[in-house]
Amino acid sequence: MGSVEIKSCYDSTALTLTALGDDFGELAFSAELSGAPFNGLVRSSTWHNGPPTLLFQELARDWQGWNGKKEWAALEGELRLTATCDSGGHIALTVHLSQQSGDFTASATIWLEAGQLDQVFQRVNAVLPTERR
């Protein structure tokens, strides 16, 4: 097990993904948002939608930019990651945490540079691999 921190290049906002172990054949993990005006933590799994690493893999592949949004969301909606980019190579990764009832939600944006996307993918893949080992 391990964890990876994805830190914004503009402020102290960070997303930490931590592998928690096997959960009925799927990988359980936590997602913690910190450094924003609030902190939040949700527990999620790779069940049905695969790991959020798939989004980071896609971002690294398309590091030169894309149109619209790229998104990964957990099946139950407790974690959603949405990425957009601008023409200057800045990536806005919006992290949305939600209690399963939807009563409590928190969102923050982590800013990344296009040049760091491959490294972010490699670090996330080491903790939440795209393919089970």
Q: Is pLDDT of 5 > 80?
A: yes
Is the CATH number of domain 3-127 3.30.70.330? no
Q: What pTM, to 2 d.p., does this model score?
A: 0.92
Which DSSP helix (H) or strand (E) runs through 93?
A: strand 90-98
Q: Is pLDDT of 23 > 90?
A: no
For 117-131, give one letter per residue: b (16+ CB within 10 A) or e: beebbebbbebbeee
Q: Where are the beta strands (DSSP E) in 24-74?
A: 26-34, 40-45, 70-73
Q: Where are the domains of the chain?
A: 3-127
**pLDDT tens figures, 46-84:** 888 889 999 999 999 999 999 999 999 998 899 999 999
